[in-house]
């Protein structure tokens, strides 16, 4: 019996030694922590490129230089309307060479003004095309304007409520000049501007003597238009915007046609204009262009 107890005690001691060795081995082993694939909270997000600033579109124009309102702003009369322009970099040197009343051609940009429906107009280039003394005058009996007016000019034309830029070429008449758009033809021997596709749409121009009488012209105009229909005289805001400077504006409609009798004056020279326009699809487009053309008479 004593022998059996001793064997059991030896077996238990051996088992305890084995367990101690196993625990010692496990205790010395280093266990690596699991990999953390979550990005750090403070890691900045990749930068996104800012949208590239759009380059302002460049436009061209012609007009009469009225002078400087301040060191950074000039006024130019375009199509009879005074307009303020900011001066771009380096343009002040070009402006310093101008006199009030000079005819000019220029390039400018349009940029929106934050919080305003208006746009900032900035001149990037300006060139004198005629002296103040010669602007609007005749250089010869044939009406040549020499260098007083550029060969081409860009105008805003109102078509069906939308303004579009159109280019016109300078044409010479008998003692005058005017700008004519591509859609029209000029017949200097007839003093007539007509639509190229339908010459029933036309305007006939007559130079008036320096001592013309407006009352006499109004009577003649009414008599001539009476054959077409009831004659109406437009005044003030009823005169089309492109012809605000008109001395007389009569109109009549009937027999499928609209006719106008208009008296214009520029730099002391008067013009009587008879406009004939059939009442068709081309009526609005013709009127929009012909009024702009007549406004350039010099």
Q: What is the mean pLDDT of the chain?
A: 80
Helix (H) or strand (E) run with residue 50 in it: none
Confidence bin at 62 (pLDDT 50/70/90): confident
- Given strand 192-195, what is the order of strands in its sheet? 184-187, 192-195, 202-207, 269-278, 257-266, 248-254, 232-233
Whole-structure pTM value = 0.54
Round to whole Å and give the CA distance between 180 and 194: 10
How large is the average pLDDT for residues 218-222?
95
pLDDT at residue 252 is higher than 80: yes
End-to-end CA distance of the chain: 145
Q: What is the pLDDT of residues 116-172, one digit of tens each?
A: 777 889 999 998 876 554 443 333 323 334 346 788 898 888 777 778 888 999 999
The residue ranges of every structural domain in the chain are 56-135, 156-298
Domain 156-298 fold = Protein Transport Mog1p; Chain A (3.40.1000)
Domain 56-135 fold = OB fold (Dihydrolipoamide Acetyltransferase, E2P) (2.40.50)
Say what the pLDDT of residue 1 is: 46
Its sign, for the CA torsion 256, 289, 190, 251, is positive
Its sign, for the CA torsion 254, 257, 261, 267, is positive
Round to whole Å and give the CA distance between 167 and 292: 11
Structure-model confidence comparison of residues 56 and 274, the more confident one: 274
Helix (H) or strand (E) run with residue 9 in it: helix 2-27
Q: What angle do CA 143, 266, 108 make, to 5 degrees?
A: 90
Confidence bin at 200 (pLDDT 50/70/90): very high
DSSP 114-167: TT-SSEEEEEEEEEEEE-TTTTT--SSTT---TTSS-SEEEEEEEETTEEEEEE
Say what the pLDDT of residue 291 is: 92
Q: What is the pLDDT of residues 7-28, one digit of tens each?
A: 555 554 555 554 554 545 545 4
Neighbours of 230 (CB within 10 A): 10
């Amino acid at each position: 019996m004593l022998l059996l107890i001793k064997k059991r005690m030896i077996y238990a001691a051996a088992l305890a030694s084995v367990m101690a060795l196993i625990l010692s081995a496990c205790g010395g082993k280093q266990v690596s922590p699991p990999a953390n694939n979550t990005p750090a909270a403070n890691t900045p997000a990749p930068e996104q490129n800012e949208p590239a600033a759009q380059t302002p579109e460049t436009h061209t124009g012609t007009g009469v230089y009225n002078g400087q309102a301040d060191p950074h702003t000039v006024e130019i009369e375009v199509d009879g309307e005074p307009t303020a322009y900011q001066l771009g970099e380096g343009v002040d040197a070009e402006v310093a060479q101008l006199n009030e009343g000079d005819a000019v051609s220029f390039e400018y940009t349009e940029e929106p003004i934050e919080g305003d429906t208006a746009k900032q107009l900035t001149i990037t280039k300006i060139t004198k095309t005629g002296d103040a003394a010669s602007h609007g005058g005749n250089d010869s009996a044939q009406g040549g304007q020499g260098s007083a007016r550029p060969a081409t000019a860009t105008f805003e034309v109102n078509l069906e409520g939308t303004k579009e830029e159109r280019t016109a070429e300078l044409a010479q008449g008998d003692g005058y000049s005017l700008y004519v758009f591509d859609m029209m033809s000029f017949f200097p021997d007839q003093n007539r501007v007509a639509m190229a596709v339908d010459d029933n749409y036309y305007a006939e121009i007559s130079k008036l003597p320096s001592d013309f009488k407006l009352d006499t012209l109004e009577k003649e105009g009414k008599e001539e238009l009476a054959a077409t229909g009831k004659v109406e005289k437009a005044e003030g805001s009823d005169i089309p915007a492109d012809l605000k400077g008109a001395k007389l504006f009569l109109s009549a409609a009937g027999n499928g046609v609209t006719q106008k009798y208009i008296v214009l004056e520029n730099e002391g020279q008067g013009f009587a204009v008879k406009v004939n326009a059939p009442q068709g699809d081309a009526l609005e487009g013709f009127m929009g262009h012909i009024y702009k053309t007549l406004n350039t008479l010099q």
